[in-house]
Amino acid sequence: MWKPQGVDTAKFSNHQPDHPRTLVTGGAGFLGSHLCDRLLAEGHEVICMDTLLTGRRANIQHLLGHPRFTFLNHDATTPINLRRLLGFRVGVTSRESSESFRLDYLLHLASPASPKDYQRHPIHTLKLGALGTHHALGLAKAHGSVFLLASTSEVYGDPAVNPQQESYWGNVNPIGVRSVYDEAKRFAEALAMAYHREHGVEIRIARIFNTYGERMRADDGRAFPNFVVQALQGRPLTVYGDGSQTRSFCYVSDLVDGLCRLLQSQDIGPFNLGNPEEIPLLKLAQVILEVTGSPSGIVFKPLPSDDPGRRRPDISKAETTLRWHPKVHLREGIERVIPYFRSQLINARVDSPPKTGESPGIRPRRRNLLSKLEWFLRPTS
């Protein structure tokens, strides 16, 4: 018999009809935690499920005492019996809970999302897309919940058309290093559609393009955090290949807004959600250098295999149907996130304990680096 792996609050309240109850898998991740914030602000009762493999407790720390928030440390690849998971701790009998328990929405985000993370956890990523989505859909079916799948622009692989419309079927290498993520999400979309067709589950599919913002891990390996952190540290920005490959970067508040609109819409999708402002990676590095005022240079490194050459969402479907359009331009977004990445670097410095035998103060080798950092981490205003 499986047992819940951990319930972080005993305050799980009885469902109030005026508070929709919503489960967010991957709720402690970068996007998931912003969604939890937004759903709570809109009056939802939020159950955040995460194993903290790539998500972080720090992302939801501020929510842990909230009366409408529950954190469940549960791996979405194992079966999810929410009534028992929650009732186990709060002492609700299974009879009472099965009669009264209802889940209105289920947002399935759980998955490593950066190439570095999913290539480090390839099998788990595939299992999350397959088993995790299966369990989550089973739960949505049992509760009659609206199920929102966080899919990805990666379903288009290395696209042969630009911009990408939802009608494009993609160009994915099924055995390449990125396939563990791409194929997992493609399978998840197929499974969600099958649950809709066979069982009538109400589903919504979002294809999320590159997104950036506060709560991204400074070390998640993606271009955006890499470049900003490198610029703030005065280290050269690592551009892979010749930097002519393009991406389109969306600020997190815009993306969360798009997801919430999709949740409220009657349309299955799929919908591309992203900012159509397309930029070559070399240009992104230059803009980040300009905005941060960093004297860092740029170094070119080998292009990883199967790296998509171009990526830009055609968002006309979301504009028309969801009345959604991103508002935050790239430069403005970069300015907004700089203080966050600065604080991450300061925290990393404070948290890093000296090694045995070193003075409790700053290690000599680090002192040089830190004095350099002091300059880059200085407040700008």
DSSP code per residue over 308-327: -S---B--HHHHHHT-----
Following CA atoms 299, 305, 306, 307 in sequence, which dihedral angle do they give, to the nearest 10 degrees? Answer: -10
Stretch that binds ligand UDP, among 22-30, 138-146, 223-231, 361-369 (CB under 6 A): 223-231
Instruction: Tell whether residue 223 is a contact of ligand UDP (CB under 6 A).
Output: yes
What CA–CA distance (Å, rounded) separates 57 from 15? 25
Q: Is residue 34 a contact point for ligand UDP (CB under 6 A)?
A: no
Structure tokens that stand for 348 in this block: 């990393």
Shortest distance (Å) from residue 367 CB to ligand UDP: 27
Segment near ligand UDP (CB under 6 A), from 65-73, 138-146, 198-206, 218-226? 218-226
Catalytic residue among 105, 118, 156, 181: 181
* Residues sharing a CB contact under 8 Å with residue 231, sequence separation 6 or more, in sequence order: 237, 288, 289, 292, 294, 296, 376
Indicate whether 247 belongs to the interface with ligand UDP (CB under 6 A).
yes
Which DSSP helix (H) or strand (E) runs through 102? none
Binding mask 284-313 for ligand UDP (x = CB under 6 A): -------------------xx--x------
Rounded to an integer, what distance in angstroms lies between the CA atom of residue 198 and that of residue 284?
45
Task: Sort strands 246-248 and 278-280 into parallel, antiparallel or unpaired.
Answer: antiparallel
3-state helix, strand, coil in the chain (%, to 5): 45, 15, 40
Hey, which residues between 135 and 194 contact ligand UDP (CB under 6 A)?
none
Smaller CB distance to ligand UDP: residue 104 or 277? 277
**Catalytic site residue 181?**
yes
Contacts with ligand UDP, 102-121, as mask; x by CB under 6 A? ------------xx------
Tell me the C-alpha distance between 246 and 309, whole Å. Answer: 6
Member of 73, 81, 173, 238 binding ligand UDP (CB under 6 A): 238
State the catalytic residues.
181
Which residue ranges make up the site for ligand UDP (CB under 6 A)? Answer: 114-115, 210, 222-224, 226, 238-240, 245, 247, 281, 303-304, 307
